[in-house]
Amino acid sequence: NLNTNKLKLVELDVSFKENINSVFNNNNITHMICCGYQMSNMIDKNPIKASEINIDKKKEVQIIICVKNNPQILQSCLLSLIKYKATDLCDILVIDDRSENQENMDLAIAHGASYMRVDNEKDIFNYSILNNLGAAFSRRQRKQRIICWNSDMFPTSEKTISNLLDKHIKNKSALSGSKLLYPEETVYKSVYPNYDHVLGENLKHAYGTIQHGGIIYAPIPPAIKTSKSYAYHPLHHWRYHPADRYMANQDMPCVAVTGALHILELDTFIKEGGYGCSLASTFQDIDLCQRYAEINYPIWYLGSETLLHAETITMKAEANLHTAQYASDQLIYEYLWSTTSRLTNLLGIPTK
């Protein structure tokens, strides 16, 4: 539904890990379409310079926000980033996956962000592919770090982003995350009046509590019916506990943090292949962390810094699709990790 009459389509056969450096071989990229494993660059006949698509080459960090429809949520997110001065330190890239109209594009441009549209022939919101494309864009713009940022997340002060980046750099971390809280009731009512939260009626008990205080692992019956062992699955530590829980407010090295906020060293992210694209919407964040931990890249949980995260906002029309996609991702994650000695060895869990 976008006006692309002035844009010319150029097909590229791209393997992300091997060819990421060649994806953006000029400064004229304005939009991108992804169809399966084909990426197509939409380049204007009158090339637009990088400086004209809201890129500040002096800023070393790019915040990547993936969206599909729901312009009210994106608007609230962008306004909060501007209000709390995240844009003083970071450029913002909005990646739009098959939205039904161009409202998200208009919002991105109006708030000084760059915009990329991605069209996928499969009816799947593949968070991994979207962020990997954002990483390729950021590499071309010479960014040193990216922040993968969920669209339903907000800073809590003007110092939040700068403090997170300072601590990430001080710790020489390859990947960092922070403490996340459920917003208070007034935020939900003002930002999400017409959406059904994954917690349903139980959301009223979660207002203002911890949503993510790090990651722990617990044995559960596996989805793989042929597996004879438990599956060790990642869970959010301190979920629903009071916001002032002491241990949740500490900074510490760890094995994994949730992908609602991932601060990533871009060179390392690209070197290790980015997010695993077979994990479309779930577990790709934990998979990346565990791959990092296997080869001793530092990962930090920054509990001294707080963000508000509304977690999964799902419209009823998409609920079945989300459920099916989660089941697929869970099976793949179990095959890769949670039913294997690969994970128990990483976590130091005795197997006998």
pLDDT in tens, 134-185: 999 999 889 999 999 999 999 999 999 999 999 999 999 999 999 999 999 8
The pLDDT of residue 13 is above 50: no
pLDDT at residue 41, as a whole number: 33
pLDDT in tens, 105-140: 999 999 999 999 887 666 677 889 999 999 999 998
Residues in the chain: 352
Point out which residues pair with 44 in neighbouring strands.
Answer: 7
pLDDT at residue 162, as a whole number: 97
Give Cβ neighbours of residue 110 (< 8 Å, ≥ 6 apart).
none
pLDDT in tens, 283-307: 999 999 999 999 999 999 999 999 9
Confidence of residue 352 (pLDDT cuts 50, 70, 90): low
Confidence of residue 230 (pLDDT cuts 50, 70, 90): confident
How many Å apart are CA 111 and CA 252, to the nearest integer? Answer: 35
What are phi and psi for residue 165, nearest 5 degrees?
A: -65, -40
Amino acid at 179: K
pLDDT at residue 320, as a whole number: 56
Mean pLDDT of 242-260: 96
Point out which residues pair with 210 in neighbouring strands.
Answer: 181
Comparison of pLDDT for 103 and 11, the residue scoring more: 103
Cβ proximity of 186 and 297 under 8 Å? no
**Strand 153-155, strand 299-309: pairing:** antiparallel
